[in-house]
Amino acid sequence: YIYILVILFFITATGFIVFKYKKEETVKANTEYGLLERKGQAANTSEWTKTKTTAETLLGKIKQQPNDVNALLELTALYVKEARVTGNHVYYDMAAMKYADKALKIDSVNFIGLVFKSLIQMSQHHFSDGLATAQKAQRINPDNAYVYGLIIDGNVEMGNYKAAVENADIMVSLRPDLNSYSRVSYLREIHGDNKGAIEAMKMAVDAGAPGDEGAEWARVQLGHLYENIGEMKYAEMHYTISLDQRPGYPYALAGMARIALAQKDYTKAISLFEQANAELEDKPFHEDLIETYRLAGNSQKADEMAKTAIEKMSKDAKASEKDENIGHYSDRELAYAYLNVKNYDKALEHAMLEYNRRPDNIDVNEAIAWVYYNKGEYDKALPYLKTALKTNSKNPTLLCRAGLIYDKTGDKPLAKTTITKALETNPNIQQTLKTQSTQVLKNFSANNSQGYKG
């Protein structure tokens, strides 16, 4: 009798769960995602007016004809672009994925639908899924250059650098444009060819339309490449041009903030970083701002910002557990956020979560190595550092961190060589890291001097 009651209870409970799930899925399926109001200068442009009109038209068309694949994909494209402009990836990635999935439910092999799905998955940091979707699209249309860009991105993020280079060669031969040149630039950069990276990014900028978000993004990347080799006047020039072409562009504002930071004008740097963050929902410059507040002597504000950043990212992560369309993996970012509040155990936890998804990626391995350095477990950092350096990148931040780790593990000659290489062009990197690295070199000089006198 009790056994029968248990079975009945189980069936009832299961039925309730299934009913609840179906109800939630029905609500999600019927939810209409409209545009959210923009913030800052991006709200005062003719482009925004046009975007709102287009969105209204497309939503109306889809309401009348729910199976209009072209309208569904046009709305997907609009939301993908809006995510870039506003930085509100959580909302717009979710909205874009809904309409892309609707289109693919109608036509499962629609090339454009698969391309958008892959792009959104990449934006959500679901790199393995994004790569698989891009490869499926490539099999449908092997002569489309754009899909090779997604395959490059997926391979880079998964640490398949040889495959990324091979696909970049195909992409640039099919369509030499901003998208292909910018990817060539990044691949050259991570393989230690800074001069070649700058040349390719110049070509990307020249291939774009001045003022267009994509073109100004490339121009800002060019400025950052100049920062990494200490050519501050060229970096500042490109950020200034970008702000002339696209007033209030947050990534250019952040570039100017880094210039001010290098000049130790902390008040100006804070103002510019705050302006940049105000333009974007995801506040991508919070780590720079935290560092600047610390340098300005306002540790309390820095700590408050660090805790707020952790709360926001954690909230978004929890939301993704309930709805895969919202899902945005941000464990690498959370690892660095926890480093900012000296919670090294949580930093390691999140760094390892990211590592388990993509163990061959150089940036992920750098993050783990740096967490172990901060924990004082220097020997544990070494194998991850080795992977982080496998492409022979000359990124000055990576090299400074490597030098500090080598110093702590007793390889003084390699530490000196690595830090010297990192700082030889006086790159514009985080000042705390630069100060630590410079101090290690001074210690070497002092020890050598004492040894000589002895």
The total of other beta-carbon atoms located within 10 Å of residue 277's CB is 22
- Cβ atoms of 164 and 155 within 8 Å: the answer is yes
The total of other beta-carbon atoms located within 10 Å of residue 333's CB is 21
Please name each of the domains of the chain with its CATH number: 43-158 (1.25.40.10)
Taken in order 288, 291, 297, 303, the sign of the CA dihedral is positive
- Cβ atoms of 160 and 144 within 8 Å: the answer is no
Q: Which residues contact 399 (CB under 8 A, 6 or more apart)?
A: 418, 419, 421, 422
DSSP 125-180: T-HHHHHHHHHHHHHH-TT-HHHHHHHHHHHHHHT-HHHHHHHHHHHHHH--SHHH
3-state secondary structure of 77: helix
Q: Please give the pLDDT value at position 453.
A: 43
Q: How far is CA 273 from the centre of its chain?
A: 17
Contacts 24+ apart (CB under 8 A), 217-225: 217/251, 218/178, 218/181, 218/182, 219/245, 219/252, 220/249, 220/251, 220/252, 220/255, 221/182, 221/185, 222/198, 223/252, 223/255, 224/255, 225/185, 225/189, 225/194, 225/197, 225/198, 225/201
- pLDDT tens, position by position, for the chain (454 residues)? 566 666 666 676 555 554 544 544 444 555 789 999 998 888 888 999 999 999 999 999 999 999 999 999 999 999 999 999 999 999 999 999 999 999 999 999 999 999 999 999 999 999 999 999 999 999 999 999 999 999 999 999 999 999 999 999 999 999 999 999 999 999 999 999 999 999 999 999 999 999 999 999 999 999 999 999 999 999 999 999 999 999 999 999 999 999 999 999 999 999 999 999 999 887 889 999 999 999 999 999 999 999 999 998 888 777 666 665 556 889 999 999 999 999 999 999 999 999 999 999 999 999 999 999 999 999 999 999 999 999 999 999 999 999 999 999 999 999 999 999 999 999 999 999 999 999 999 998 887 766 544 3
Q: Which residues contact 30 (CB under 8 A, 6 or more apart)?
A: none
Q: Please give the pLDDT value at position 30.
A: 57
Model confidence pTM above 0.95: no
- Cβ atoms of 110 and 133 within 8 Å: the answer is no
Q: Please give the pLDDT value at position 313.
A: 87
- φ and ψ at 18, to 5 degrees? -65, -45
3-state secondary structure 227-275: HHCCCHHHHHHHHHHHHHHCCCCHHHHHHHHHHHHHCCCHHHHHHHHHH
CA dist 260 and 273 (Å) reads: 10
- Cβ atoms of 326 and 90 within 8 Å: the answer is yes
CA dist 136 and 147 (Å) reads: 10
Q: Please give the pLDDT value at position 27.
A: 45
Q: Please give the pLDDT value at position 29.
A: 53
Reference 374, options 411, 410, 336; nearest CA is: 336
CA dist 183 and 306 (Å) reads: 32
Q: Which residues contact 296 (CB under 8 A, 6 or more apart)?
A: 266, 267, 270
Largest CA distance in the chain: 94
- Cβ atoms of 248 and 211 within 8 Å: the answer is no
CA dist 290 and 298 (Å) reads: 9
Rg (CA), the chain: 24
What's the token pair of residue 292? Answer: 């600047």
Tell me which DSSP letter residue 409 carries: T
Q: Please give the pLDDT value at position 127.
A: 97
CA dist 357 and 76 (Å) reads: 27
Tell me which DSSP letter residue 34 carries: -
CA dist 53 and 423 (Å) reads: 51
Q: 């780790």: which residue's tokens?
A: 405
